[in-house]
Structure 1
Amino acid sequence: MEIERKWMVAGWPEGLPLEEEFFMRQGYISVRPTVRIREEALTGGKTQWILCFKSGGGLAREEIERPIDQTLFEELAAKIIGKPLIPKLRRSYRLADGCVLEVNHVDEGQPGEFWYAEIEYPTIAAAENWAPGALGLGEYLADEVTGQPGQSMGEYWERTRG
């Protein structure tokens, strides 16, 4: 089960220590249900290739992720998807309460480029009770879009590549 909230943001947060950074490429075999591949290259580290299945929407949804090898990733990207993958730069920041804020810059340099932030939680109650203002992030995380139609990466894929 994946439990997360999502916000549209304008750029990287200020004053938070960077924990890690990944360059990613992802594409969709299916949007409903979600079947996605993603390459995750850790800055200064290793690269992983992931096959992901998701169902449901909103605050909590089922998610299954499995590692795949680079060859399968490239074959799926070229032969099944056949469209340009979405590039993303993700930076993670550990917050004072232990949560991890993940901020993503999507399709940099393209007309539709945008930024969003997410936080995953251990329980639905923790997600519902978490308040960005308590950590001084109220202004940065003012535009919450959790569960709003048209705000998922799958829907962005459909608008831009589908």
Structure 2
Amino acid sequence: MRLSSHITPHRELAEARWLHSPAAPPAAGHGGFTAQLLDAAVLTQAPARSDRARAADWALRVCRAGQLRPLGPVPRLLALALTAQAPAAAENGLGERDQLAYMCGLTTRELTHVLDLLVDAGFLQSWQFDPSTEDAVWSLATPDHPTAY
């Protein structure tokens, strides 16, 4: 999950009862740690190995796109979220602003900044917040993104 050595994500996931770890998160520069996911929805799912491999391949292809390589993990995560929410071969995507920000661990102001970064990088053609619903509306620069399943 690449939570890094920052304690905040670990603590938030533990407080939400999504994660249990008998040990503290590793110090910066050290190896990983063991944790148990506690979310009931995750625990009851049993995707086949081929499904997991296909989903991981899809995520890697999106996040390794040439224009995203120089960006950090947060813009790549948002790019993955936007791509996953846009219908296959669609020119536009639509999502709740607050939900997008929450999924990527961003504030609304940070979401605006990262969306601008994705436009500057050429991943998004454009984006805007719908004035009536405050939903985020975006156009992928290349709408022929990979299909997850």
Q: TM-score, normalization: structure 2? A: 0.27
> Between Structure 1 and Structure 2, which shows a larger proportion of strand residues?
1
Asked which structure has the greater CA Rg, the reply is: 2
By relative contact order (CA 8 Å, sep 6+), the higher-ranking structure is: 1
